[in-house]
Structure 1
């Protein structure tokens, strides 16, 4: 038998509890106890005027942004609509049932103004990291670093040849591009000028990752703790190796200064295996480099590689398989020379008469009169990295390095940050900081347990 038709009747009074309608296992209820915004007002107070109308509550805007990045809501227009309709979002944002949701334009106004001027989003991220340390989900012993390409909000087929063709007064992104030309994370990272520049977002660099279409993009750099893959620091850079290596140094120094945490080993791929980077880790920071070296000394044509030559550190010479010595200089100079090239290498070579009389010359230097070997000034640090690469701990590090790659996969597939919405270096930095904050909050919700209840006796 068909049931009666239900007709909605408006009641004069309602008894409704918003707290009761948010499930205990909801993500927002789990992360709410880790969101500490008690210092936001004091942090922003110098950036507000003492006169005029009361502004939108900054804590409300921050809570709404956390909701947006935790649930992959990329549009602030849509975010305002979702917070207006969703009971759990209203509960998390402390709006109640009848609280007004701010207009979407409020976010843009504050982001380009007081949020960036006060570096509020960096403060928010560091507050969450400090809570991760307090909850003991940060080991502090082993870190990993990597970068991932995030597509910029710029058409890949529109470009100009030179930066002089851009009008600095036409957009905020162009003005930011001109301001970071000497920044080590952007224009100052390499003397090579880009072949094409985007007129929409000039700081984004034209590049391509494996199995993807070329386009303009930024690099999102993560420094994570390998115990539970907590993001310790994040940095936005241009998409070239030199900038990413520089970002790794910046993040390690900033983590040590801000949280007094320095790892004993750093895990990274071959992009961070330059001699300068390895020497910086070993000699200046005392960190074990679990890094694949950038090493071009091994030969594949059947001739002797550099590993076939024995180095004598006391005499500062190489000894070839035939027993002859390779030196930087075979005669004394009135004015001593260090023999270091501009690239930071020292060239060792044998004497011509020794090579001509050697029976091993066809396997040593068949195409030249003498054999030469280049040795980096940081070769001692590189030797330490080679020794580490032979250990079982290095094999474990190679497996653990996948944790940072999984974070990037989560960032792009779950949080939907595979393409930037904001433009310019500041826009990329804001999005990366908020996304990393959301990932750490989700990690806290998963790993940090609720305190045990205290019962009356």
Structure 2
């Protein structure tokens, strides 16, 4: 029998609770248990005027941003539409059915104003990390570090080659916000001061972004997001935005390790990273911090720091040896072998070394091998079973980057400038830690009474 036609009839009164329409196993129910925004109003109080019209609750804006980054909704206009329509989003944002959703322009005003001036997003991230530590997800023993390229909101058509780029012609008074930030970070080790080499192209809209072809494909403008994670449960302990060049990325690890110790009293027993972090100066710094470098050694024959390189040693073909600048002989073997492969290395590798007691008293030792001890520490660690385990643990950082781009949708930035990149990276890392907490400690399921 064909039923009657369904027609919507508006009622005068409704009995409706949003909580009843949000599934018990919804991800936001689990995340909501770990979102602590109790300190936000106190943190922002000095950035609001004591007179005038009351502002929109900053907690509401932060909750909406967390929804957007947890579910890959990074367009603020679309985020407002989704919160308006989705009951679960309204429940998480503490909005009733009749409560209006803030305008999308409000986010821009607060992001580029109060939130940035007060460093609120950094504060929010660290509160989440503190919660992970208190719940036992961070031991602080084994850290891993890596960087990943994130495409900037810039293109080659709106750029200038390095031969024609003249930063002195920029008028800071008339420059856009991203260009002003570029001028402010020219002496920052993570951006302008990372290297003296000028990029091949400089973007007009976002000059701090780096023109790079690191992906072995078409070049593009990008920033690097740098993660420092605890390998126990892949919790992101710190995050830093830098230019997409190795010098800036390596330097950021020092910043993140120092900040983790200052804020959370975390000092790892080992640091796991790839060969990009295995330079002599970096290994030397890590060893001096009493951290074991589980890092492949980056071997560079040529040096630019004033120390001797391979070219400074003279080759004596007749005696099969090198002569160092101090006149000492570096020999491959100290005894004769009929087969070179039967030498001390046993692998057919030609190693030329001076006598140990000669090197120890050499007045030019610091010019010859200033970081040799740190490199040797890393090489000795590479022979252990723990090192093999660390190389597997390092993949956890790469998995977080894959999750960042595929699940959270952060393959391209929407905000420009170093501050914009830093804001997006902080929010994304906060969302990943909250999702991690929700996965490990899901909300308890409520059984309905019969």
TM norm structure 2? 0.85
1:321 corresponding residue in structure 2: 333
Structure 1 CA distance, aligned partners of 2:218 and 2:290? 40
| 1:55-66 alignment runs, 5 A limit | 55-66=55-66
**Structure 2 unmatched runs, 5+:** 303-309, 323-327, 336-351
How many residues align? The count is 403
Distance 1:155 1:90, change over 3 A: same
SS of 2:228's equivalent in the other structure is strand
| 1:219-258 alignment runs, 5 A limit | 219-258=224-263
1:371 corresponding residue in structure 2: none
> How far apart are residue 449 of structure 1 and its match?
5.2
SS of 1:157's equivalent in the other structure is helix
Question: Does structure 1 retain, via aligned residues, the 8 Å contact 2:273–2:295?
Answer: yes
2:2 corresponding residue in structure 1: 2
SS of 1:282's equivalent in the other structure is helix
Question: Does structure 2 retain, via aligned residues, the 8 Å contact 1:218–1:428?
Answer: yes
Distance 1:413 1:165, change over 3 A: farther
Question: Is 2:187 the counterpart of 1:182?
Answer: yes
Question: Does structure 2 retain, via aligned residues, the 8 Å contact 1:226–1:400?
Answer: yes
Distance 1:411 1:390, change over 3 A: same
Structure 1 CA distance, aligned partners of 2:353 and 2:129? 55
Question: Is 2:401 the counterpart of 1:408?
Answer: yes
Question: Does structure 2 retain, via aligned residues, the 8 Å contact 1:156–1:214?
Answer: no
Structure 2 CA distance, aligned partners of 1:57 and 1:442? 24
> How far apart are residue 238 of structure 1 and its match?
0.3
Structure 1 CA distance, aligned partners of 2:445 and 2:82? 34
Structure 2 CA distance, aligned partners of 1:452 and 1:3? 37
**Structure 1 unmatched runs, 5+:** 311-315, 331-335, 347-375
> How far apart are residue 166 of structure 1 and its match?
3.7
1:131-173 per-residue CA deviation (whole Å, 9 max, x = no partner) reads: 0001111121101000000000001232123223444323001
> How far apart are residue 7 of structure 1 and its match?
1.2
Question: Does structure 2 retain, via aligned residues, the 8 Å contact 1:281–1:287?
Answer: yes
1:78 corresponding residue in structure 2: 78
SS of 1:147's equivalent in the other structure is strand
Structure 1 CA distance, aligned partners of 2:44 and 2:94? 20
Distance 1:317 1:138, change over 3 A: farther
Structure 2 CA distance, aligned partners of 1:84 and 1:203? 36
Structure 2 CA distance, aligned partners of 1:45 and 1:396? 47
Structure 2 CA distance, aligned partners of 1:232 and 1:53? 38
Structure 2 CA distance, aligned partners of 1:126 and 1:309? 56
Distance 1:444 1:317, change over 3 A: farther
Question: Is 2:25 the counterpart of 1:21?
Answer: no
Structure 1 CA distance, aligned partners of 2:445 and 2:11? 41
1:206 corresponding residue in structure 2: 211
> How far apart are residue 318 of structure 1 and its match?
5.0
1:14-35 per-residue CA deviation (whole Å, 9 max, x = no partner) reads: 1111111111111111010100
1:421 corresponding residue in structure 2: 414
> How far apart are residue 194 of structure 1 and its match?
2.0
Structure 1 CA distance, aligned partners of 2:184 and 2:125? 25
Distance 1:325 1:50, change over 3 A: closer
Question: Does structure 1 retain, via aligned residues, the 8 Å contact 2:321–2:329?
Answer: no
1:69-89 per-residue CA deviation (whole Å, 9 max, x = no partner) reads: 000001100101111111001
2:349 corresponding residue in structure 1: none
Residue 382 (structure 1) aligned to one of 353, 375, 378? 375
1:335-377 per-residue CA deviation (whole Å, 9 max, x = no partner) reads: x99437xxx741xxxxxxxxxxxxxxxxxxxxxxxxxxxxx30
Distance 1:327 1:177, change over 3 A: farther
1:265 corresponding residue in structure 2: 270
Structure 1 CA distance, aligned partners of 2:27 and 2:444? 17
Structure 2 CA distance, aligned partners of 1:206 and 1:53? 44
